[in-house]
Amino acid sequence: MSLVDNSVEKGTIAVKRLDIEQIEVDLLVEAIYQRYGYDFRHYNQASIKRRLRHHLTKIGGDKLADLIPEILYNPDSFKALFFDLSVTVTEMFRDPWFFLALREKVFPFLRTFPFINVWQAGCATGEEVYSLAIMLKEEGLYKRTHIYATDFNDGALAIARNRIYPIEKVKEYSSNYQKAGGRRSLADYYQARYDSIIIDPSLQENITFANHNLAVDGVFAEVHLILCRNVLIYFNQALQNRVFSIFRDSLCYNGFLCLGSKESVRFSQVQANFNDFSSQEKIYQSKFKKRATGSLVG
């Protein structure tokens, strides 16, 4: 066999391995959907593969296909896999420039409403929810605000409800808070205990944590503000359009949609239903009106 033939053969084997891995991924996410109802079938493929490989390495597994019977017959194995698939990187006042824009540009509009409903979609372990609550409190809006914080990971929601976070993160959180226009000291909003901090329980009074899966569930509530930051980057275009439609139908007229720095409603099916309110911070304002009968118009 010539060197050229040998190279071609190796290339063919590599392609076949990639094809087999894709088949494994497709079968695994279908098994998850059929057995547990969680739909990863339309998530970004590169992200799903990366997280599956990470999980496989962590448990010392050999092939992705081996996970299929394991998660079908062992719910505990599925829980471990599910956490690795759905874990979201978050922190208090992440992207402080965004929170500063929210405080200075969006809150003045929210003041005009007698009550305010907020949906934090994909809230993960809750750091961003409590950041928002702190800002609303400092601006005198928290008492007439209700925050619906949702995620499809019950483990993450449990952490959010407990309000306990590692103390080594405090320095970073405090720096973010000050850059976001904080009016006090972040220490006023938590108590330090051993190697953890616990968020003041008063900040949880107007928060409802609930399980909601953007991939399969529908409109959650009618709200004035939606925050869904750094979640849609993990979805493919079809699923993004589905989620954007849910957000559009959930927002009241002139309500606000806040996305992550790498996310946008541009080129989506709902682009015409939103105005750019603050382009740099990816804040959009709804211009979508609902008829009195409940039907919708653009």
Q: What is the pLDDT of residue 38?
A: 80
Q: What is the pLDDT of residue 57?
A: 92
Where are the domains positioned within the chain?
3-86, 96-297
pTM above 0.85, yes or no: no
Q: What is the pLDDT of residue 18?
A: 63
Helices (H), 37-95: 45-59, 67-73, 75-86
Q: What is the pLDDT of residue 41?
A: 85
Q: How far is CA 215 from the centre of its chain?
A: 12
The 3-class secondary structure across 152-192, one letter per residue, is: CCHHHHHHHHHCEEEHHHHHHHHHHHHHCCCCCCHHHHEEE
Sign of the torsion angle spanned by Cα atoms 123, 124, 130, 131? negative
Distance CA 181, CA 171 (A): 16
Residue 155 neighbours by CB distance under 10 Å: 15
Q: What is the pLDDT of residue 293?
A: 43
Backbone angles phi, psi at 255, to 5 degrees: -75, 170
Q: What is the pLDDT of residue 79?
A: 86
Residue 261, judged by CB atoms within 10 A of its CB (0-12, 13-18, 19+), counts as middle
Q: What is the pLDDT of residue 3?
A: 47
Q: What is the pLDDT of residue 14?
A: 53
CATH 2.60.40.10 fits 96-297, yes or no: no
Distance CA 187, CA 169 (A): 12
pLDDT along the chain (298 residues), means of 10: 51 61 92 86 86 92 92 92 80 96 97 96 96 98 98 92 96 97 97 95 97 89 95 88 96 96 94 96 91 48
Q: What is the pLDDT of residue 91?
A: 94
